[in-house]
Amino acid sequence: MNTNGRRLYKRAAGWLTGVMVLSSACGTTAMANGVMLVDAASVADVHAEADETSPVLVKLSGTQAVVLGHDEDWTKVQVGDITGWVESEHLTNGSDTTEDIVPESPEKTEQTGSTEEKIEQKEQTEEKESNSEPVQNEAVQAVMAAAKDTQRINEQQKAIETQKAEEAAKAAEEQKAIQKAAEEAAKKAAADAQAAAEEAARKAAVQAQAAAEEAARKAAAEAQAAAQQAAAKAAAEAQAAAVQAAQQAVIAQAGVSPQDVDLLAALIQCEAGGEPYVGQVAVGNVVMNRVESAGHPASIPDVIYAAGQFSPVRNGSLSRTLSTGRVSASCRQAAVEAIAGSSPVGDKLYFRRANGRGGQIIGNHVFY
């Protein structure tokens, strides 16, 4: 390879493996802190933060980067539109401009060659540079594309992690809300149960008190009713005794014997035992009207046993009733009342079953 070839090769190598001013290729300008070269002998990771554990945005080797700042062993750089942190040990040969840094060439030590050769070499060099620019641009674009892809993947991963963290936080909040709701529900249930128990106890106490008061009232009412009933019974018995005494006096004055009273009571039992009390007195009233009538016998036995007058005499039921003594108290009282002068049917002398005959009807009998 001749001198021109070696010179062209070195310049191309400088373009491909040396300094690439990405800020110029991507429309950016160098920062005030200057430009430094990433050591071509190593591969430098550009991290998102000044920390080895932070995401890697792009890998660089032999690349020129704009220096933005420093943090201990880290340097903040800009490569195209990517900004990140690289360990300072990977940076060498800083420059204050964004012009290409060209490796030192042996041409500086060679002083041979004519002016024509130098002109020819310059033209060839410029032609080579012109031909190498597309290659340089393609390399820069490849680096930029890889950096963008890496940054996009990192951003997507970071977004996924952020979303997962947000979802986890949301799930934790929801679980916390569920637990709080469960605690509130349990608290409310306990309060409701206690309130229900207290209300049940209160109602039971009220009902027990009401029952006791009702029992006391009922007992007092029953005692009062019993007392009134006893007093009424005693008064009735006293009155009945007085009436009976008066009737007995009347009977004695009328000259009626106890046997006559029993006979009249037995007849009333046979004729009107199932009739109302006034109907029983009415039968005795008819017998006593006949005793007082001039057309009939003048005594109770003669009136009752007169031929063909009363069916119980004819069929023997009167005789059986007298022998058994089965006469109700009401029939006996009706006999006494009739002897004493009670007259619910006036002066009527006859009675029979009510079958359409005119007269005074009491129960099942018509009196005439």
Whether 15 and 148 map to the same domain: the answer is: yes
The CATH number given to whatever domain includes residue 136 is 2.30.30.40
Low-confidence ranges of the chain (pLDDT < 70): 1-35, 38-41, 93-116, 118, 125-137, 139-140
pLDDT of residue 165: 93
Whether 142 and 25 map to the same domain: the answer is: yes
Which of 103, 131, 165 is the C-terminal boundary of a domain?
A: 165
Which of 117, 139, 165 is the C-terminal boundary of a domain?
A: 165
pLDDT of residue 271: 95
pLDDT of residue 146: 82
pLDDT of residue 115: 66
Phi-psi region of 176 (alpha: psi -120 to 50; beta: other; left: phi over 0): alpha
Looking at the domain assignment, is residue 321 inside a domain? yes
How many domains does the chain contain in total?
A: 2
Residue 257 phi, psi dihedral angles, 5° rounding: -85, 165
Looking at the domain assignment, is residue 55 inside a domain? yes
Whole-structure pTM over 0.75, yes or no? no
* Distances from the Cα of 48 to the Cα of 35, 78, 89, 143, 227, angstroms: 19, 11, 17, 17, 110
Q: Determine the 3-state secondary structure of 70 from DSSP.
A: strand
The CATH number given to whatever domain includes residue 329 is 1.10.10.2520
Which 8-state DSSP code applies to residue 241?
A: H
The CA distance from 84 to 158, in Å, is 16
Looking at the domain assignment, is residue 108 inside a domain? yes
Which of 165, 194, 210 is the C-terminal boundary of a domain?
A: 165
pLDDT of residue 355: 83
Looking at the domain assignment, is residue 184 inside a domain? no
- For the chain, the distance separating the N- and C-terminal CA atoms, rounded to the nearest angstrom, is 178
At 303-318, the pLDDT tens digits run 999 999 999 999 999 9
Looking at the domain assignment, is residue 235 inside a domain? no
Looking at the domain assignment, is residue 348 inside a domain? yes
Please check whether residue 327 is in contact with residue 265, taking contact to mean a CB–CB distance below 8 angstroms: yes
Looking at the domain assignment, is residue 342 inside a domain? yes
pLDDT of residue 35: 65
Partners of 124 in beta bridges: none
Please check whether residue 84 is in contact with residue 67, taking contact to mean a CB–CB distance below 8 angstroms: no
Domain that includes residue 129, residue range? 3-165
Whether 20 and 136 map to the same domain: the answer is: yes
Looking at the domain assignment, is residue 161 inside a domain? yes
Whether 16 and 140 map to the same domain: the answer is: yes
Whether 156 and 261 map to the same domain: the answer is: no
- Encode burial over 307-335: b for 16+ CB neighbours within 10 A, e otherwise: eeebebbeeebbeebbeeeebeebbbbbb
At 119-158, the pLDDT tens digits run 777 777 666 656 655 655 676 677 788 888 888 999 999 9
pLDDT of residue 61: 81
